[in-house]
Structure 1
């Protein structure tokens, strides 16, 4: 593992701090009128999700951790655990379903996602940026309604509610962003 100075911390960096693994969420560099400059870092624990605000001076050394990234294929869910298969070794791995948080409904059978490992422990999972879903319920198109900034609610095949433009009809496939959970385009 590499040691970095406190002023080199960037958002997304994974740090070993106080015996835990933390990801830097926000980093602000502060130069007070009196005293030395420091980095104000908001961190989130990768294991339990707790948050922490910490100050690091440029002279402070912090342990930066590199997570190993592996592409894994989703197989099925059982008892709150998601079962993935390594694409290269065909080894199966079980991970708690809450690792995906509110993005869990976008996980589809056979989907390949990227899991981040520290040693042999899976800490993070990232879905593809965009997922194609089908609309199962929405209001019918109202003739003459302009498309300018008017959206209507729709329910997707995975149960998630999104706002869609008025021209999108029921049983159509749309592309949804997994980051913002918003409509992107027609599929």
Structure 2
């Protein structure tokens, strides 16, 4: 599907320079002289390269829709994550660094969304909220009941987050995988 250069929005995936790119940021600029354009920060879906590009409204770009499939995480093998399609039972391998700092939130048997372009798997999206157990945190200090005082905690997967003072060791908490912040008690 072709769209104009000024219609690119963050999150859109476009075909550009022979690769697939996701728009990270877009900014519309109207200089005093010359025509208006969209300044778009792009990130390559295959190798993670970044690129700043200008698109005028007359420029046509090919917008790509990715097919999304639910896949179940099975195990990790030599830095590769193995996922299985719940319907066809086909298994695919993706590099673990695709998830970046969100990798510790991936749990055995978890259902994730894998995005495909034609038959190539490009991206993995974790569920928005994950339940984790607090492995270590400081004890509650009596009298420390300020409205929004948080204390550091280490989860069972090794991730450090800030939790409210009433959360103790061994408690299950819900964590947002996008912002890596405490949401609520589980």
| TM norm structure 2 | 0.98
Give secondary structure in 1 for the equivalent of 2:89.
coil
8 A contact 1:137–1:154 mirrored in 2: yes
Partner of 1:63: 62
CA distance in 2, matches of 1:142, 1:172: 18
What is the Cα deviation at residue 98 of structure 1? 0.8
What is the Cα deviation at residue 150 of structure 1? 1.3
Alignment of 1:15-164 (within 5 A): 15-164=14-163
CA distance in 2, matches of 1:70, 1:182: 26
8 A contact 1:80–1:97 mirrored in 2: yes
What is the Cα deviation at residue 149 of structure 1? 2.1
CA distance in 2, matches of 1:88, 1:77: 21
Q: Which runs of 5+ in 1 are unaligned?
A: none
Give secondary structure in 1 for the equivalent of 2:141.
coil
Give secondary structure in 1 for the equivalent of 2:41.
strand
Partner of 2:174: 175
CA distance in 1, matches of 2:178, 2:63: 25
8 A contact 1:37–1:57 mirrored in 2: yes
8 A contact 1:147–1:165 mirrored in 2: no
CA distance in 2, matches of 1:147, 1:137: 22
CA distance in 1, matches of 2:50, 2:147: 40
What is the Cα deviation at residue 32 of structure 1? 1.4
**Alignment root-mean-square deviation, CA:** 0.8
CA distance in 2, matches of 1:11, 1:87: 30
Give secondary structure in 2 for the equivalent of 1:102.
helix
Aligned length in residues: 186
Instruction: Tell me the alpha carbon deviations over residues 67-124 of structure 1, each in whole angstroms, 9 at most, x when there is no partner.
Output: 1110000011111111111011111111111111110000001100001011111111
Runs of 4 or more off by more than 3 Å in structure 1? none
Partner of 1:185: 184
CA distance in 1, matches of 2:182, 2:54: 38
